[in-house]
Amino acid sequence: MILRDILRQARVLPVLEINNLDEAVPLARALAAGGLTVLEVTLRTDVAVEAIRWIAAEVPEVMVGAGTITRPSDFQRIRRAGARFAVSPGFTRELAEAAQSVEIPFLPGVMTPTEAMTASEQGFDTLKLFPAEPAGGVGLLKAINGPLPELAFCPTGGLRASNFRDYLALPNVLCVGGSWVAPAAEVAAANWTRITELARDAS
Ligand code: 3PG
C-alpha cells in the first residue's frame, strides 16, 4: 500500500509510546474497537520493536507502523518486526536512502518550506509536519498550500481533541497524528474502555 493510501485510511493516527509489552495488544485492540486501525508505535522505549511484532501478529485488523525513526538501521529491524510504514520527526538523506532500499512507505518530518522542498526533490511528497502546533499549525499549513499545493501533510505535535478537526479540514492534510487518543495515564491504568471512547470520538 502506498503511503498516501495508508494515511487517507487512517485520518487520525494514534502516536503510541508503549512502556510495557503487556499493554501493546490490548491497547491496539482498544483503539481498533473505537475505529482507529492505523497505529504508530514510537521507538522511544526498549520494548517498542517487540510491541510492533506483537501487534502485527495478534491484531490483524490493525496496520501498525513505527515512529521516531532516527537511524538508518531502524528500518531493517522495524520491517522484520512487521511494521508496514515508518515515520520520522525529521528528514536526512541517509534516512531517505535507507527507507528506499528497505522499500517501506516512509513519512519524514519537516517544519519549514525549505525542508519540505528538499524532501520533495528526493521523492517524498507526503510529509509529517512536526512539531505542528509550535511550528505554526493550521496557519502554516494554509500558507504552505499556496506555493506547494502538490505536497500533502500529516501534522503531529500538539494536536488534541479540541483542534484536530481544524487540521483535517485543510486540503493539504491527509491525516493527523497524536498521542491524545491514548493518554499515558489511561494506558498505565489499563483503562481500555476509556481509550476506545477517545478513539471513537476521534474517528
Ligand atoms: C510525535 O512523535 O509525533 C509527537 O510526539 C506526538 O505529539 P503529541 O504527544 O503532542 O501528540
- The reported pTM is 0.95
124 CA → ligand 1 middle, Å? 21
Q: Give the pLDDT score at 8.
A: 92
Which residue is closest in CA terms to ligand 1's atom 7?
157
Domains and CATH numbers, the chain: 3-202 (3.20.20.70)
CA triple 138-173-121, angle to 5 deg:
105
Q: Report residue 8 as a C-alpha cell.
A: 487517507
Q: What is the dihedral of CA 64, 180, 112, 135, to 10 degrees?
A: -170
Separation CA 83–CA 136 (nearest Å): 30
**Residue in the structure block whose three cell numbers are 512507505:** 105
Q: How far, in Å, CA of 139 to CA of 65, rounded? A: 28
Tell me how far the alpha carbon of residue 73 is from its chain's centroid: 19
Q: What is the CA radius of gyration of the chain?
A: 16
Is any ligand 1 atom within 6 A of the Cβ of residue 15? Answer: yes
Looking at ligand 1, which residue's alpha carbon is closest to its atom 9? 179
Check pocket membership of 65 for ligand 1, CB cut-off 6 A: no
Rounded distance between C-alpha atoms, residue 149 and residue 63, angstroms = 28
156 lines ligand 1 (CB under 6 A): yes
Which residue has cell 519549514?
Answer: 112
Model pLDDT, residue 1: 75
Output the CA angle 193-67-132, nearest 5 degrees: 85
CA of 68 to the centre of ligand 1 (A): 10
127, amino acid identity? L
Query: pLDDT 10s digit of each residue in the chain, 203 long?
Result: 799 999 999 999 999 999 999 999 999 999 999 999 999 999 999 999 999 999 999 999 999 999 999 999 999 999 999 999 999 999 999 999 999 999 999 999 999 999 999 999 999 999 999 999 999 999 999 999 999 999 999 999 999 999 999 999 999 999 999 999 999 999 999 999 999 999 999 99
For the record, the C-alpha cell of 26 comes out as 490490548
Phi then psi dihedrals of residue 73, to 5 deg: -70, -15
Instruction: Indicate if 128 belongs to the active site.
Output: yes
Instruction: Give the dihedral sign, CA 43/47/51/52.
Output: positive
